[in-house]
Amino acid sequence: MANSSPSLRRAALLVSAVAVLGLTTACGDGSGTVSSPQTQSGTAAPAGGDTTADGSGTPAATSSGASTSSGTGSDSTPSGSSASASTSSGSGGTSTGSGTASGSRCHTSELSAKVGGNDPGAGQENFPIVLTNASGRTCTVRGYPGAAFASADGRQLGPDPQRETGTTVTTITLKPGQSAWAGLSFSNPEISGAKTATPATLVVTPPDEKDPLKVKWTNGTVPVSGNASSVRLSVFSAGTGA
């Protein structure tokens, strides 16, 4: 190279610069960056329950297939069917306040669901949604269920139920075999004049879970649109609501 002409040396330098530029373009962070695919981390929205740190019960997220929408409502607790806290081995769970209860939350796979009998009053139809701990361990439920009426082919019937507000949210500790209930209420369609449909199932999602439980609906028509078509949910209490 000592005897090379100036023009040959300039050509060699030009080739080296092009090679360096190519490497810079492939590894840099400019608009021409070539990089591996990036994945975004995230948490799936809970399907129901008290998702707030202060236990206020204000809904934070929703999941398709089960209603968790917030709203106002009254008389959504079946009248005359209060559930008291129990520490026995019977069907009632133990209700606690804002303190931490023993055991972690109950998962869908550990629970069974049913709809209790109607306790009508003042033009209202009132049903307890009952979750029972079917596992061999102690676990907890807290807040609201997700709920939606569904047709035989899985379509949701009517708008999302509303959550009753102004109630105290407590943590319910369920030993194996114990139950907790939440109120499901709506105006009698024959009185309100709302449009109706007859569901095949009630889809119930335990608090803070994503997977639902399906309960056969055998209680006739429900309001789905028009006058007084709102369906309301209350928070879970200890017992079966009977």
Report pLDDT digits (tens) over 43-61.
Answer: 223 333 443 333 333 333 3
Average the pLDDT over 222-226 and give the result: 93
d(CA 126, CA 184): 6
pLDDT score for 166: 84
By mean pLDDT, which of 47-61, 125-139, 186-200, 227-241 is the weakest?
47-61
Compare 37 and 227 and report the one with higher pLDDT: 227
DSSP notation for 168-193: ---EEEE-TT-EEEEEEEEE-HHHH-
**pLDDT top residue among 62 and 188:** 188
Parallel, antiparallel, or unpaired: how do β-strands 237-238 and 179-187 relate?
Answer: antiparallel
Query: 239, 102, 234: which is closest to 173 by C-alpha?
Result: 102
| pLDDT (0 to 100) of residue 97 | 52
CA-to-CA distance for 124 and 126, rounded, in angstroms?
Answer: 6
CB atoms within 10 A of CB 14: 10
**Hey, how many other C-beta atoms are within 10 angstroms of the C-beta on 66?**
26
Higher pLDDT, 218 or 5: 218
Phi and psi angles of residue 17, each rounded to the nearest 5 degrees, phi first = -65, -40
Asked whether the predicted pLDDT for residue 78 surpasses 70, the reply is no
Q: Tell me the C-alpha distance between 235 and 112, whole Å.
A: 18
More confident residue, 189 or 129: 129
* Residue at 155: amino acid letter: R
pLDDT value for 162: 94
* Nearest in space to 74 (alpha carbons), one of 108, 122, 36: 122
Helix (H, G, I), strand (E, B) or coil at 89: coil
Q: What is the pLDDT of residue 229?
A: 85
